[in-house]
């Protein structure tokens, strides 16, 4: 189950400090520590200060987890609490190589390297950079201080120093993933890069704001020169003169005249080529340095070097087979899905629900959020009122955009908001996702709980709402759908205060054979977010149960969860999540309350997902009088249960892959659907 995902969350009290003031800078304190009882292993402990975005650091630590290898620094883990300090921030722990960084080895300790050591260094660094590049990540400005070496002079890419000799965390290393900047935060790309790397290592194109993976090749060429010759290639020029001279062609780079390996000399100059399109890739460089004997330095111990390359190759081969296995599994699932669809003609209700928005007029805006806006609209002909949820403008309709339509079209049941129509345009004809739903004039459960000190809801209403949500979630989980954002604002109330679960924009189908999902950043609302979702564990159906537990507390007690923590202050959401994850902090029952109901709610938010009840169990318990609030009208509740249990429902629910393949990829079925729509239009 959930233990199958390696957790990198660690407790700092498992470590003891060896060197308390190893390095301190404006945004990060660095200590050298060791695990208690294990003096053989030492680690770097980076404690980031409060003004550094902790969510960003954690996201990038999770990114680093995907790239563990012999040429990249090994991540030990991270914690949400600063070492021996009550302040809430992030601490990250990396391995500590005995020789520390390569700059110290070459220029402070002035260690003379053998040809074998130089070849190992260059090959290992190339291997690490190609690993970054193969994951779509630009390292941006690697230098000697961002390379750790062990006693065998084997390198690991790690943190970066800037020109003021400040040691930056790994989060400052990554700038692009799949060509998208991920650490801009209001600054220009050049401002960030030039403030964090030695200017002498800057690729020429930095001044044209044209950084990409080839820019790492430039800085790698600089490193090769420094490793081989022990000095910078620009030693006789000032920085500004070098840049202007190179761009104008006045300065021509070259290797020393007495350097005998012409192949390596030309490789260095190719890396430093002004036209970045002519530079070799890191994959090509690694192949040349690691496997082509013509690119080996003199006086090299071939046996020792080849043993090191074999070590790197074993890692690459293992990952290649792992990737092939994952791809084959994916192809197999897609093939099985295709065969299933080809052999079965499925009629989606969505065919008849695509709507012409010109038939509706907007009356007023009734809600807004990060998703977009909700409007009260009216059908011009029938005068039927509907709620129109209009997403923010998008350039194309993706699988995620269609997911909510797919689910709503198929789960027609009193426990869920009913879809009336949809369009891939908004009312101004812009590209957007617009969903027309039945209008609930009572609004959301959140709105009702906040009105008139909760006098609008009787205990019978509250018990009914809890039972209705539990039934709806039981139905979703039976069909392997998880909601991922269950909260009072996503539960609407009809005229009888009966609940209707809404907002399936973050909902997702899960594989019943592998019912756990890898966490995605930004999914869920902090107050209702399960601990395993926050720190990147695998999660599944129990995460919805956790959210339901927090919702029940709010519904049954008329109290806002965590109100005692002052969450409106800066960083309040992160403070809450660290309390929830690290300290297992939960809402307080410091008042008289039904003990069985209290235990049920606390079981829902158990820290261990495997110990949380299922919605089948919750639905059964919440109908039991032992779990009732005071003065619940049993007959009213029984009638409601009878209504939702006997209501018609669709039991043949298809996931979004089937939906999209049906409507987009299979031409014959598209024609059938068009013919069906024409028949429906004629009949209507």
> pLDDT tens digit string along 257-268?
889 899 999 999
Residue 364 lies in a domain: yes
pLDDT at 599 over 80: yes
- Under the banding of pLDDT at 50, 70 and 90, the label for residue 454 is low
DSSP string, 346-360: ---GGGGTB--GGGE
pLDDT at 665 over 50: no
Same domain, 17 and 120: no
Strands (E), 585-657: none
Percent of the chain with pLDDT over 70: 70
For 2, the domain range is 1-96
Residue 658 lies in a domain: no
| pLDDT for the residue 556 | 96
Q: How many domains does the chain have?
A: 5
Residue 82 lies in a domain: yes
* Ranges 76-80, 89-93, 502-506, 663-667: which has the least confidence: 663-667
Helix intervals (H) in 385-458: 399-410, 445-450
Same domain, 248 and 282: yes
Residue 105 lies in a domain: no
- Under the banding of pLDDT at 50, 70 and 90, the label for residue 672 is low
Q: pTM of the full predicted structure?
A: 0.60
Same domain, 515 and 525: yes
Active site residues: 485
CB atoms within 10 A of CB 399: 12
Q: What is the tens place of the pLDDT at every residue in 376-394?
A: 999 999 999 999 999 875 6
Cβ(368)–Cβ(406) under 8 Å? no
> Quick one: average pLDDT of 338-362?
63
**Helix-strand-coil percent breakdown of the chain, rounded to 5?**
45, 20, 35
| pLDDT for the residue 81 | 63
Residue 324 lies in a domain: yes
Residue 73 lies in a domain: yes
Domain CATH code at residue 291 = 1.10.510.10
**Domain-ending residue, one of 414, 439, 464:** 439
pLDDT at 46 over 50: yes
Same domain, 115 and 226: yes
Helix intervals (H) in 66-198: 102-103, 115-134, 189-194
Dihedral over Cα of 196, 199, 201, 207: its sign = positive
CB atoms within 10 A of CB 324: 10
Nearest Cα residue to 490 out of 475, 508, 473, 515: 473
| pLDDT for the residue 186 | 33
| pLDDT for the residue 336 | 54
Per-residue tokens: 187: 């600054």
Same domain, 467 and 477: yes
Nearest Cα residue to 548 out of 655, 467, 478: 467
**Domain-ending residue, one of 319, 343, 367:** 343
Q: What is the residue-averaged pLDDT of the chain?
A: 78
> Quick one: average pLDDT of 27-52?
79
* Ranges 147-156, 186-195, 233-242, 478-487: which has the least confidence: 186-195
Same domain, 15 and 125: no
Domain CATH code at residue 387 = 3.30.200.20
Same domain, 247 and 372: no
| pLDDT for the residue 360 | 96
Residue 652 lies in a domain: no
pLDDT at 248 over 70: no
Cβ(11)–Cβ(36) under 8 Å? no
If 0-12 CB within 10 Å is exposed, 13-18 middle and 19+ buried, where does residue 607 land? middle
* Ranges 41-50, 163-172, 470-479: which has the least confidence: 163-172
* Ranges 137-141, 186-190, 199-203, 604-608: which has the least confidence: 186-190
Please tell me whether residue 289 adopts helix, strand or coil conformation.
helix
Buried b (16+ CB within 10 A) or exposed e, 235-244: eebeeeebbe
Same domain, 477 and 625: yes
Same domain, 292 and 399: no
Residue 487 lies in a domain: yes
Same domain, 42 and 63: yes
Same domain, 367 and 395: yes
| pLDDT for the residue 197 | 39
| pLDDT for the residue 118 | 96
Same domain, 633 and 543: yes
């Amino acid at each position: 189950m959930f233990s199958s995902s390696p957790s990198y969350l660690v407790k700092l009290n498992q470590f003891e400090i060896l060197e308390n003031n190893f390095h301190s800078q404006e945004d990060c304190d660095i200590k050298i520590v060791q695990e208690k009882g294990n003096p053989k292993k030492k680690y770097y402990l980076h404690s980031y200060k409060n003004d550094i975005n902790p969510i960003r650091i954690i996201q990038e630590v999770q990114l680093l987890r995907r790239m563990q290898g012999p040429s990249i620094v090994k991540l030990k883990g991270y914690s949400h609490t600063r070492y021996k300090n009550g302040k809430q921030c992030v601490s990250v722990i990396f391995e500590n190589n005995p020789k520390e960084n390569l700059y110290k080895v070459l220029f402070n300790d002035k260690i003379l390297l053998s040809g074998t050591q130089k070849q190992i260094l260059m090959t290992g660094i190339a291997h690490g950079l190609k690993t970054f590049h193969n994951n779509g990540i630009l390292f941006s400005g690697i230098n000697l201080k961002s390379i750790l070496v062990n006693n065998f002079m084997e390198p690991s890419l790690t943190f970066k120093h800037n020109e003021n000799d400040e040691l930056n965390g790994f989060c400052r290393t990554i700038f692009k993933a799949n060509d998208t900047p991920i650490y801009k935060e209001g600054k220009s790309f050049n401002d960030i890069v030039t403030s964090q790397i030695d200017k002498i290592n800057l690729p020429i194109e930095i001044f044209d704001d044209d950084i990409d993976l080839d820019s790492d090749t430039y800085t790698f060429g600089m490193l090769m020169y420094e490793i081989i010759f022990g000095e910078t290639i620009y030693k006789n020029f000032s920085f500004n003169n070098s840049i202007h001279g190179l761009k104008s062609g006045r300065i021509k780079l070259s290797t020393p005249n007495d350097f005998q390996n012409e192949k390596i000399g030309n490789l260095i100059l190719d890396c430093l080529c002004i036209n970045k399109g002519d530079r070799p890739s890191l994959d090509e460089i690694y192949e040349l340095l690691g496997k082509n004997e013509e690119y080996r330095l003199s006086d090299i111990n071939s046996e020792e070097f080849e043993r090191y390359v074999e070590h790197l190759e074993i890692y690459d081969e293992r990952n290649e087979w792992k990737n092939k296995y994952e791809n084959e599994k994916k192809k197999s699932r897609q093939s099985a899905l295709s065969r299933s669809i080809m052999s079965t003609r499925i009629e989606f209700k969505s065919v008849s629900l695509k709507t012409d928005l010109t038939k509706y007029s907007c009356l007023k805006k009734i809600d807004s959020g990060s998703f977009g806006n909700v409007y009260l609209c009216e059908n011009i002909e029938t005068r039927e009122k509907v709620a129109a949820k209009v997403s923010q403008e998008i350039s194309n309709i993706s699988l995620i955009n269609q997911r909510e339509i797919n689910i709503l079209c198929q789960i027609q049941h009193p426990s869920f908001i009913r879809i009336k129509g949809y369009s891939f345009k908004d009312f101004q004809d812009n590209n957007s996702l617009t969903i027309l739903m039945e209008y609930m004039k009572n609004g959301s459960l959140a709105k009702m709980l906040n009105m008139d000190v909760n006098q609008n809801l009787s205990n019978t209403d509250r018990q009914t709402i809890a039972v209705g949500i539990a039934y709806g979630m039981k139905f979703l989980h039976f069909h392997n759908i998880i909601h991922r954002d269950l909260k009072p604002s996503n539960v609407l109330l009809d005229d009888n205060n009966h609940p209707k679960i809404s907002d399936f924009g973050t909902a997702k189908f899960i594989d019943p054979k592998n019912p756990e999902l890898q966490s995605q950043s930004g999914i869920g609302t902090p107050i209702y977010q399960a601990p395993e979702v926050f720190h990147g564990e695998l999660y599944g159906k129990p995460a919805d149960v956790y959210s339901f537990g927090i919702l029940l507390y709010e519904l049954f007690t008329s109290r806002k969860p965590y109100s005692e923590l002052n969450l409106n202050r800066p960083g309040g959401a992160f403070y809450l999540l660290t309390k929830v994850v690290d300290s297992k902090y939960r809402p307080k029952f410091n008042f008289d309350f039904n003990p069985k109901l209290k235990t049920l709610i606390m079981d829902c938010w158990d820290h261990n997902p495997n110990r949380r009840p299922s919605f089948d169990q919750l639905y059964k318990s919440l109908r039991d009088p032992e779990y009732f609030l005071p003065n619940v009208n049993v007959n009213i509740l029984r009638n409601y249960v009878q209504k939702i249990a006997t209501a018609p429902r669709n039991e043949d629910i298809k996931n979004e892959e089937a939906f999209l393949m049906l409507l987009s990829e299979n031409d014959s079925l598209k024609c059938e659907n068009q013919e069906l729509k024409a028949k429906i239009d004629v009949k209507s």
